[in-house]
Structure 1
Amino acid sequence: MSAPESVTDFPKIILRKSAATAFSAAVPPLLQKLYGARGVLSDSEIETGLEQLPKPEMKGLAEASRLLADAIQTQKRLLIVGDFDCDGATSTCVGLLGLRALGAAYVDYLVPNRFEFGYGLTPEIVAVAAERQPDLIVTVDNGISSIEGVAAAAKLGIPVLVTDHHLPGDALPDAAAIVNPNQHGCTFPAKSLAGVGVMFYVLLALRTELRARAWFSDARPEANLAELLDLVALGTVADVVPLEQTNRVLVTQGLRRIRAGRCRPGIKALLRVAGKDASRLVAADMGFAIGPRLNAAGRLDDISLGIRCLLTDDEDVALNLAAELDDLNRERRAIEQSMKDDAMRVLSHLQLDASNIPNGICLYDPTWHQGVVGILASRIKDRYYRPVIAFADADDDEMKGSARSIPGLHLRDALDLLAKRHPGLLNKFGGHAMAAGLSLAKADYLRFVDAFDAIVAELTTEEQLTAAVHSDGELQPEDFSIEHAELLRSAGPWGQNFPEPKFHGCFRLVQQRIVGERHLKMVLAPISAAGDAGQHIIDAIAFNIDTAQWPNPQAEQVKLIYKLDSNLFRERLSVQLLVDHIQALTD
């Protein structure tokens, strides 16, 4: 996270309030407070053993497991059709590895290239899939909106099993079976599963069905599906789905396998090229180190490169593929920075401030890379604290946009309302509360800009459009201990809707310097409640700082919003603050 660059500068701080909890004395008081502020109130809610997973009783699971069991027992040809992001890649791998482990003799995968086919099971990708002569198509992380694609497959005599987690529209595809916890009538409690989590549950149900059919034997032993949890954890974190208890269980179990070295060679290789110590891995590392390298393949080239990295059993091959993915990620970062510079030039000319900033920001440049506009939208959203849609050319007549939202505005619902108010304005749209994709005619862009701004204005309040950060309070100098830092690292996994603890406070700035081109390395002294800065000093770092503002030789004290972390360097653990926002204090 960069230092503040928004029109509101240093964000408003909202103090988290902890609800009354019923934890046992085994849970440290600090964690009781932090958990209570996140709506987790008892020991049972922080349990992360596999026995905490809800039973595989999702709508459509029974039909799906019978369909797959029949196909496996009769040696039908299965084809997985995935998506071109990290969740899609891990879903594809979990589906492929799991089905093979359960006895599927013929199973392959196909992921649409985003630049040739776009998202989902389209009629065009069905035509490509048909060349492989599958007996059954299984979608992962897509399909719930693929009405035309499923119909095209049916005309060719190919049934489709849809596994997805995206929100359904008013109509559903006429598939052989649909497994999606968010479809109407599904009572499964864990609505926030990622696509990879849905596929994992399909495999659990399939194993139960095959067990009932006496499929397993000494010659064909029952598969241990827990071996797939490293991939499930990676896809879950990278897709930024809410980490309610079911997802926390899946992520925790996957993290334990990775830390113990019992994970795919591809994950080990990606951690190596990212410079991460697997034994100290936390959920954020999967989101910021592994996920972007896999996503880079789908954004710039072909996600199948990432899938091959995750599927291979050869460590040397995995390392070579991980190096290619790392190169692509470096290229992606360069493209992203160039696009961000373009966007900031446009926005700076508008001289935006709190009085004239749009409710919803739309940006378009015909030279922008279609695969990177989502990241650009996220960066601009962070800066201006507004829902943002960044557009790039799809072809001569159509443009594609990637949207990112702020808390309080459900993007997919907003686009659905916009589409109903302005029939024909959108060609396609879909997504989640915080992220969505859409396409429209270039000729309709300006009309869309006005319509989107009006919808955001209608659905949000002034308070929701004001940059704010929730803080867990201020720490005192004695709290900056390695014991507390390690406690917080082990208390997760932290993530979406179960945020990593953040604190705020003032510090004496002892040293400051730029490292790695854009990162501000600092040495700080905590200031006590009495206003005194003691002799205790702490390292801190703020990533991707505005180098026009920092280092600041005039700053003697700073106000920070930060995370308390630990850093392992040359076999020595020390406290380190990860700074999200920084403000120089003046007399």
Structure 2
Amino acid sequence: MSATNNTTTDSARSRLPIRRRETVPHQLPGDLSPILQRLYASRGLVRPEQLNLQAGALLKPGFKGMAEAVVLLEQALAEQRSILIVGDFDCDGATSSALMVHGLRAMGAQRVNYLVPNRFDYGYGLSPQVVEEAITLGAELLITVDNGISSIAGVAAARAVGMQVIVTDHHLPGEEIPDADAIVNPNQHGCDFPSKNLAGVGVAFYLLLALRAALTEHGWFGKLGITAPNMGEYLDLVALGTVADVVALDENNRVLVHQGLQRMRAGRLRPGIQALIDISGRNQQRLVATDLGFALGPRLNAVGRLDDMSMGVACLLSNNLDEARKLASMMDELNRERKAIEASMQHEALASLTQVRISDGELPSGLVLHQDDWHQGVVGLVASRIKERYFRPVIAFAEAGDDELKGSGRSIPGVHLRDLLETINSRHPGLITKFGGHAMAAGLSLTKAALAPFKAAFEQVVDEWVSPELLAGEILSDGELAVNELSLELAEQLRFAGPWGQAFPEPLFDGEFRIVQQRLVGEKHLKLVLSPDEGRTVIDAIAFNVDLSVWPNAAIRQVQLAYKLDVNEWRGKRQLQLMVEQLAPL
């Protein structure tokens, strides 16, 4: 089936239908404000115990493969074997790598180091080429973090030369799993750990928790004359990696993120994260999950996209604030460069779609994009932006040398991207060189000659899996706020009522407003003064990246908004501001 495109322009996309969340029965305590009761219940929190974000509410370690991994680590510590952490080149991989190095050193490991493969030289995961590098570093035990579950050849190569291998990962396994000495992954077959949504850094944290418990039980810390580390001290890393990897904030992940944010706000954080907060201009005492996802995380991710993530890990491992600030400044510059590259690539992608595919009023249900000069470190971001604009699965490819293309994909609810690639791979063996990922994001490699047949296969499978309704998109609203609820007090309450994030979205409301003032700020942002009650009350608002063919427009006096409550801080003064998600003239 083919889906007619209803989103050929910015203005068309801005008029997504708004559906209000239904009222959900709950047993939440009466001392919680009615609006918070409603917001929490609509997101699945219906019992008092689900509101507990204290560290004691964390699920206990109970993973398949955990016991074997702990035994291997105890032996490595007892013999002071050379341990090498092999990480991924994104924020989750960087925080996972830093966490494992910090944690193992605090538990008495004297020979522990890390290696983050450069994406341009080695690609993703533990490959045989990475193993060659590990040999030169004298590694005896390899521990993968945020990767490894698809590294069949790499694990085999490591074990062939006598290395032991522990795989810690959270990505979905394929039909074949590596022959590692131990695998710790909540998503591996046969693992009954209840939270399947842990990021890689969360899995690493649980492994360290289990190791510390075993070492304590066996008197290890007493023998060394050292104090067992307080694992809470590492929750700043766990929170950052969890939010930045956009995993679902289920109850367990919300505890991890909340506890990490609490530590950051209180100043109990490592210098590298302090430096990232400073360089991004965030208010540390008022830090929330969106700051991690949209300010700190992108600066770390930019390093892996454009350079070598070893710089990011070094920043997170640094014990010197001045040194960490120098590294954070370098990452900030890379992030600016990443933004410029992304903007150019996004413009080219949109232009190609407009000229080639949208002219007849239709788009395929799934989009495959490629341009010879695109940057392989940024294609995932381009796929994400195009997905948001046209609300369909997107895969963007870039040249990787040696006749190879590397692609990164983003999907929409209802289309499991990794399963989709698995289907294509089973129907067309050899078409995809390698792939991996999860429901909403995936990566893959192809030969250049395979691009056209892959594009056809991708569009065909997406067509089979989706309906026009699934591709239409909608905005889920928490309803309309009364005039007296449009307040700084409620905005402050909601800000700290999270952590909000993936699968636990920040509250979004809708309503009709009169425009009192409107003006363009920057190049594409619309600053508004609005009134919900014919001028008796006025409220500031801002809409980013508006359609310049529509706005500003003095003839438009009434609008329907979908918006979030925000606190605008300027020169020490805080006031209410609406963050406009959708702006539709009435």
On whether the aligned pair clears a TM of 0.5, the verdict is yes
Q: What is the alpha-carbon distance in structure 2 between the residues aligned to residue 332 and residue 553 of structure 1? A: 36
Distance 1:333 1:121, change over 3 A: same
- Give 3-state SS (helix, strand or coil) of 1:306's partner: helix
Q: Does residue 1:332 correspond to 2:343, yes or no?
A: no
Q: 1:403-414, aligned counterparts within 5 Å?
A: 403-414=409-420
Three-state SS of the structure 2 residue aligned to 1:463 is: helix
Instruction: Give the whole-Å Cα distance in 1 for the aligned partners of 2:191 and 2:572.
Output: 50
Q: TM-score, normalised by structure 2?
A: 0.96
The answer to whether the Cα contact below 8 Å between 1:14 and 1:471 also exists between their aligned partners in 2 is yes
8 Å CA contact 1:8–1:467 kept in 2: the answer is no
The answer to whether residue 500 in structure 2 is matched with residue 510 in structure 1 is no
Residue 549 of structure 1 and its aligned partner are, at CA, apart by 3.1
SS at match of 1:80: strand
Alignment partner of 1:421 is 2:427: yes
Structure 2 CA distance for partners of 1:118 and 1:6, relative to 1, 3 Å: farther
Cross-structure match for 2:6: none
Deviates more, 1:238-247 or 1:43-52: 43-52
Count of residues paired in the alignment: 577
- Match in the other structure for 1:468: 474
Matches within 5 A, 1:239-250: 239-250=245-256
Distance 2:29 2:83 in 1: 49
1:481–1:49 CA distance, 2 compared to 1 (3 A): same
Equivalent in the alignment of 2:440: 434
SS of 2:167's equivalent in the other structure is strand
Q: 2:163 aligns with which of 149, 158, 161?
A: 158
Contact kept, 8 Å, 1:363 with 1:391, in 2: the verdict is: yes
Aligned to 2:221: 216
Equivalent residue runs for 1:364-379 within 5 Å: 364-379=370-385
Q: Per-residue displacement from partner, 1:259-294 (whole Å, max 9, x unpaired)?
A: 111111111111111111011111011000001000
Alignment correspondent of 1:358: 364
- Pairing partner for 1:92 from 74, 84, 97: 97
Range that drifts further, 41-50 or 241-250: 41-50
Task: Single out whichever of 214-223 and 241-250 deviates more from structure 2.
Answer: 214-223
Instruction: Give the share of equivalent positions with the same residue, in percent.
Output: 56
- Equivalent of residue 345 in structure 1, options 351, 366, 369: 351
SS at match of 1:464: helix
Tell me, yes or no, if the aligned pair for 2:23 and 2:42 is still in contact at 8 Å. yes
1:45 paired with 2:46, answer: no
Q: Distance in 1 between matches of 2:336 and 2:492?
A: 31
One of 99, 116, 126 as aligned partner of 2:121: 116
Equivalent pair of 1:6/1:385 in contact (CA under 8 Å): no
Indicate if the aligned counterparts of 2:14 and 2:582 stay in contact, CA closer than 8 A: no
Q: Deviations over 1:436-464 (max 9, x none)?
A: 00111111111111110111111112211
Question: How far apart in 2 are the matches of 1:151 and 1:50?
Answer: 38
Q: Aligned partners of 1:436, 1:280: CA distance in 2, in Å?
A: 33
- Once the two structures are superposed, the pairs formed by residues 14-93 of structure 1 within 5 Å of their partners are 14-93=19-98
Q: Which residue of 2 aligns with 1:569?
A: 570
User: 1:569 deviation in Å?
Assistant: 2.1
Contact 1:7 1:352 in 2 (8 A): no
Displacement of 1:351 = 5.5
1:432-491 Cα offsets, whole Å, 9 max, x none, are 111100111111111111110111111112211112111111112111011211111111
Q: What is the SS of the residue equivalent to 2:429?
A: coil
Determine whether 1:315 maps to 2:321.
Answer: yes
SS at match of 1:583: strand
Match in the other structure for 1:552: 553
> Which residue does 1:104 correspond to in 2?
109
CA distance in 1: counterparts of 2:526 and 2:447, whole angstroms? 43
Deviations 1:285-324 (Å, cap 9, x if unpaired)? 1000001000000000111111111111111111111111
Corresponding residue for 1:488? 494
Q: CA RMSD in A?
A: 1.4
Shift of 1:117: 0.4
Superposition deviation, residue 191 in structure 1: 0.6
Q: Which one of 169, 182, 186 corresponds to residue 181 of structure 1?
A: 186
Does 2:297 correspond to 1:296? no
User: Is the 1:510–1:524 Cα contact (8 Å) retained in structure 2?
Assistant: yes
Q: Is 562-571 or 106-115 further displaced after alignment? A: 562-571
SS of residue in 2 equivalent to 1:216: helix
Equivalent position amino acid for 2:320 in 1: D
Deviations 1:104-158 (A, max 9, x none): 1110000000000000000111111111111100000000010100000011111
CA-to-partner distance for each residue in 1:19-65, whole Å, 9 max, x for gaps? Answer: 20001112111011111111110111111011111111111111111
Secondary structure of the corresponding residue to residue 121 of structure 2: coil
Match of residue 537 from structure 1: 538
Whole-angstrom distance in 2 between the partners of 1:540 and 1:232 = 33
Q: Distance in 1 between matches of 2:83 and 2:147?
A: 16
Deviation at 1:407, TM superposition (A): 0.9
> Equivalent residue of 2:18, what SS?
strand
Contact 1:6–1:384 (8 Å) recurs in 2: no
Amino acid at match of 2:386: I
1:438 is paired with a residue whose SS is strand
CA–CA distance in structure 2, aligned partners of residues 516 and 78 of structure 1: 50
For 1:556, give the aligned amino acid: R
Between the aligned partners of 1:462 and 1:26, the Cα distance in structure 2 is 44
Q: Is the 8 A contact 1:7 1:383 kept in 2?
A: no
Aligned-residue offset at 1:555? 1.8
**Secondary structure at the residue paired with 2:228?**
coil
Gap regions ≥5 residues in structure 2: 1-8
Equivalents in 1 of 2:199, 2:85: separation in Å?
17
The answer (yes or no) to whether the contact 1:147–1:172 under 8 Å persists in 2 is yes
Determine if the alignment matches structure 1 residue 204 to structure 2 residue 205. Answer: no
Match of 1:501 in 2: 507
Aligned: 1:263 with 2:264: no
Matches within 5 A, 1:134-149: 134-149=139-154
Q: Once the 2 structures are TM-superposed, how far is the Cα of residue 354 of structure 1 from its aligned partner?
A: 9.3
Relative to structure 2, which stretch is displaced further, 83-92 or 449-458? 449-458
SS in 2 for 1:566: strand
- Residue 172 (str. 1) matches residue 173 (str. 2): no
Could you tell me how far apart the structure 1 residues matched to 2:245 and 2:83 are? Answer: 25
8 Å contact from structure 1 (residues 237, 251) kept in 2: yes
The letter for the 2-side match of 1:96 is V
Q: Is the 8 A contact 2:434 2:445 kept in 1?
A: yes
Match of 1:11 among 13, 16, 26: 16
Of the structure 1 ranges 189-198 and 568-577, higher mean CA displacement relative to structure 2 is found in 568-577
- How far the C-alpha of 1:7 sits from its partner, in A, is 4.9
Q: Do the aligned partners of 1:370 and 1:394 also contact (CA within 8 Å) in 2?
A: yes
Whole-angstrom CA distance in 2 between matches of 1:308 and 1:346 = 40
Indicate if the aligned counterparts of 1:111 and 1:303 stay in contact, CA closer than 8 A.
Answer: yes
SS at match of 1:350: helix
Deviation at 1:511, TM superposition (A): 1.7
Q: Which moved more, 1:85-94 or 1:308-317?
A: 308-317
Counterpart contact for 2:122–2:130, Cα < 8 Å: yes
SS of 1:220's partner is coil
In structure 1, C-alpha distance between the alignment counterparts of 2:64 and 2:459, rounded to whole Å: 37
1:278 maps onto 2:293 in alignment = no
**Residue 385 of structure 1 pairs with residue 391 of structure 2:** yes
Select between 491-500 and 18-27 the one with higher mean Cα deviation. Answer: 18-27
Corresponding residue to 2:243 among 231, 237, 249: 237
Look up the SS of the partner of 1:402 in the other structure: strand
Which secondary structure does the structure 1 equivalent of 2:376 belong to?
Answer: coil
